[in-house]
Structure 1
Amino acid sequence: MDFSLPPALAELQARVRRFIDEQVIPLEADPRQGAHGPEPALRDELVARARAAGLLTPHVARDFGGLDLGHVERAVVFEEAGTSLLGPVALNVFAPDEGNMHLLQEVATPTQQERWLRPMAAGTLRSCFAMTEPAPGAGSDPSMLATTARPDGEHFVIDGRKWFITGADGAGVAIIMAMVPGAGATMFLSPMDAPGIVLERNMDTLDRCFPGGHGVLRFEGLRVHRDDVLGEVGKGFHYAQVRLSPARLTHCMRWLGAARRAHEVASAYARERQAFGQAIGRHEGVGFMLADNAMDLHLARLTTWQAAWVLDQGELGLAESSRAKVIVSESVWRVADRCVQVLGGQGTTSETVVARIFADMRAFRIYDGPSEVHRWSLAKRIMKGLPA
């Protein structure tokens, strides 16, 4: 099996790596960052730099200004972007916009694409995906969806509450999942400034790399025209899989880059820091952690590339998506955790980027389906005699 990159992709990888090293990493200490992500001015500057470098939104079709990358190509580029927590923001491949753009390309009407997808691809508009709800609504079990969309003439009237809505604060458009009585789960597009959408608050979380943070939204009599139904009424759960299977994988790509960066920082420290007469990396307690990191990174990359290759051939099955998400999220988490340990006290401070990677990465084992739910799904297939 030949895993070497085609020359054009290798050149693109090198371009992205230079861009991140020279244009993005120097901004990591920029004060325009807070508990709820990079501020709009910083995001605008990062996007402008990527636009000037010809690297903005590389995953969307060329008709919308992108490079039309396939999934294996995305795996290479997104990993490089992920080596800085600001990299995916700069290239406009961060969540939830990256997944939302994919969904709009696949499902939206031409009119909807011109209104929403084109400015998103240009980096001038952010979005959010409003599906998760507080108890007793939908979380890991989407069948518990409690938000409703009642037909009313040419409109639907949406009522309900959502939380953990990434990017809600400052988003221009929301994709809302709601239950239409008698028809089922349906997706709707709505401007975020429409009457009836209330951002109750931003939630304080471990991570702070997503622009807009994670919000709590309330819908009170939100009126959405039938022309703003995304796809077909009643097919919301199907479209959720259209979005989530690739989105789980692109999370793997980005966090793989962050884990690689953490490993590089820890390895450099282990070569330089002296204790008990030699560099600490020469002691087995530290050296073995670095070796385990190398193996976990290799496992995560192979898993990601294999799933990306499957996606390029057609559809990524639910079992394959679940398997990849668990393997990679837990592999990169082990890497980040070991890197903190290798750095010792330094690993718990802002003296290096490792502590920030550690904190931001932790939620990856939860969002887009926690590891336990994916394991349960795979176990059910095994018990039915199906491949997992």
Structure 2
Amino acid sequence: MSNPDPELTARLTRDVERFVREVVIPYETDPRRGPHGPLDSLVMELREKARAAGVLTPHIRPGGAHLTQRETAAILKKSGLSPLGPLACNTAAPDEGNMFLMGRVASAAQKAEFLQPVVEGRARSAFLMTEPAAEGGAGSDPSMLKTHAVRAGDEWVINGRKAFITGFDGAHTGIVMARTRDGERPAATMFLVRLPHPAISIERILDTIDSSMPGGHAVLNIENLRVPAANVLGEVDEGFKYAQVRLSPARLSHCMRWWGAAARAQEIASQYACTREAFGKKLIEHEGVGFMLAENLIALKQAELMIDWCADVLDTGESGTVESSMTKVAVSELLFAIADRCVQVMGGTGVTGDTIVEQVFREIRAFRIYDGPTEVHKWSLARKIRRDHAKRP
């Protein structure tokens, strides 16, 4: 991780915001939208423009050093001002989290083959952990992992099924998480796979309420996938530990990006309320409308402070598991309330595709589930309260 550089961060933040507002936002009406997310042709066109503007993968510096989480927050919030912004700037999930994990754990050879194309914005990646709920597979509880990997000489053979695998269709790099030890102390390992691979087939792409991720969310079947031992990410049996290395910052970066989207929705709703007239005056002058937008201002600041607080914790080197859970719960709920009020302020216009407010509402509703539903995080926090109580004299 690089040392903080306030001047660099301020410049990158300004450049990203300018790029998103001037270049990316006009693309929001581009017809290159598939049923499950923007087409790769649109994504790559935007990335070429970001590369030319010097804002492609801005949170990772030349040489591979990652900005601090606090610096990353400033930049990712601005990239999120459009649903297309994170894709254009290469700060989107799951790539952002995968880049962070590979940057921390991968070997030099693995970085050259699997990480570098993603950092350069030439390829996308996928994180294959979640499994079908109907089959009792891993979701919010990774310990339920059913996909197995068995050592066979200089290779590992992996079999299993995965679900909700974001961006798999069209990805170049896959991180596959599989169980490698059973018993009282089960363990998992992560494997790097070049995609597409004939041993991993797409059963279907799920129809979901969100539509910002290229490739959508896939259900996959993995049948006799053979992975060289050299493609083990990190150490064998350390997959659960690496999942936490990835998940705490990834939860937080979701909060950063969707903060930007909610801030943009607030801008649009405020513009609407300040220009639309009803019952003899501007909507903003009606207390019921004005108060909703005022509540949004308060909620945006509360969410921003939570993000910065958690970023500061992660920047100390702490795992931030508790702090990221608290932040994910608070921010996702705050931002959803903001998006909901923006829709309400705009009335009929708010539920149409005439602005991005309707999409922001859908995307943040999904975010309340992705990376752990609110209730799972609250349950985890309640367990901490119980543990802390038990330690009292």
Q: Specify the TM-score bucket, using the shorter chain as the normaliser.
A: over 0.9
Alignment partner of 1:186 out of 160, 179, 189 = 189
Match of 1:289 in 2: 292
Match of 1:196 in 2: 199
Which runs of 5 or more residues in structure 2 are unaligned? Answer: none
**Kept in 2: contact 1:158–1:221 (CA 8 A):** yes
Match of 1:347 in 2: 350
Amino acid at match of 2:156: F
Alignment partner of 2:127 out of 126, 129, 146 = 129
Deviation at 1:170, TM superposition (A): 0.2
1:157-184 deviations in whole A, cap 9, x for unaligned? 1000001000000011210110013562
**Kept in 1: contact 2:310–2:320 (CA 8 A):** no
Match of 1:45 in 2: 45
What is the SS of the residue equivalent to 1:83? coil
How far apart are the structure 1 equivalents of 2:339 and 2:20?
A: 20
After the TM superposition, which segments of 4 or more aligned residues of structure 1 sit over 6 Å from their partners? none
**Kept in 2: contact 1:259–1:336 (CA 8 A):** yes
Alignment partner of 1:243 out of 241, 246, 254 = 246
1:77 aligns with 2:78: no
1:314 aligns with 2:312: no
Q: How does 1:135-154 map to 2 (within 5 A)?
A: 135=133, 136-154=136-154
**Kept in 1: contact 2:12–2:58 (CA 8 A):** no
1:101-144 deviations in whole A, cap 9, x for unaligned? 00000000100000011111111111100000013111111111
How far apart are the structure 2 equivalents of 1:247 and 1:8?
A: 23
1:210-260 deviations in whole A, cap 9, x for unaligned? 111111111001001111111111110000000000000000000000000
**Kept in 2: contact 1:333–1:362 (CA 8 A):** yes
Q: Which moved more, 1:133-142 or 1:182-191?
A: 182-191
Match of 2:89 in 1: 91
Amino acid at match of 1:19: F
Match of 1:267 in 2: 270
How far apart are the structure 1 equivalents of 2:252 and 2:376?
A: 16
How far apart are the structure 1 equivalents of 2:8 and 2:159?
A: 49
**Kept in 2: contact 1:138–1:146 (CA 8 A):** yes
**Kept in 1: contact 2:273–2:282 (CA 8 A):** yes
What is the SS of the residue equivalent to 1:139? coil
Match of 1:381 in 2: 384
Amino acid at match of 1:197: I
**Kept in 2: contact 1:60–1:101 (CA 8 A):** no
Match of 1:115 in 2: 113
**Kept in 1: contact 2:59–2:75 (CA 8 A):** no
How far apart are the structure 1 equivalents of 2:11 and 2:196?
A: 42
How far apart are the structure 1 equivalents of 2:151 and 2:8?
A: 51
Q: 1:278 to 1:127 in 2, by over 3 A?
A: same
Amino acid at match of 1:208: S
What is the SS of the residue equivalent to 1:51? helix
Deviation at 1:7, TM superposition (A): 4.3
**Kept in 1: contact 2:114–2:194 (CA 8 A):** no
What is the SS of the residue equivalent to 2:221? strand
**Kept in 1: contact 2:90–2:121 (CA 8 A):** yes
1:106 aligns with 2:104: yes
Q: Which moved more, 1:355-364 or 1:377-386?
A: 377-386
**Kept in 2: contact 1:337–1:358 (CA 8 A):** yes
How far apart are the structure 2 equivalents of 1:345 and 1:323?
A: 34
Amino acid at match of 2:79: A
Q: Which moved more, 1:330-339 or 1:355-364?
A: 355-364
Alignment partner of 1:303 out of 303, 306, 309 = 306
What is the SS of the residue equivalent to 2:177? strand
**Kept in 1: contact 2:204–2:218 (CA 8 A):** yes
**Kept in 1: contact 2:181–2:237 (CA 8 A):** no
1:358 aligns with 2:361: yes
What is the SS of the residue equivalent to 2:114? helix
Match of 1:225 in 2: 228
Amino acid at match of 1:95: A
Identity of aligned residues (%): 54
How far apart are the structure 2 equivalents of 1:33 and 1:155?
A: 39
Deviation at 1:311, TM superposition (A): 1.5
How far apart are the structure 2 equivalents of 1:211 and 1:218?
A: 20
Deviation at 1:281, TM superposition (A): 1.2
1:256 aligns with 2:254: no
How far apart are the structure 2 equivalents of 1:160 and 1:60?
A: 34
Deviation at 1:271, TM superposition (A): 0.8
How far apart are the structure 1 equivalents of 2:38 and 2:209?
A: 14
Amino acid at match of 2:74: V
Match of 2:164 in 1: 164
What is the SS of the residue equivalent to 1:28? helix
Deviation at 1:343, TM superposition (A): 0.2
Provide the alpha-carbon RMSD of the alignment: 1.5
Amino acid at match of 2:164: F
Amino acid at match of 1:314: G
**Kept in 2: contact 1:307–1:316 (CA 8 A):** no
Match of 1:17 in 2: 17
Q: TM-score, normalised by structure 2?
A: 0.94
**Kept in 2: contact 1:60–1:102 (CA 8 A):** no
Amino acid at match of 1:37: G
**Kept in 2: contact 1:150–1:181 (CA 8 A):** no
Deviation at 1:6, TM superposition (A): 4.0
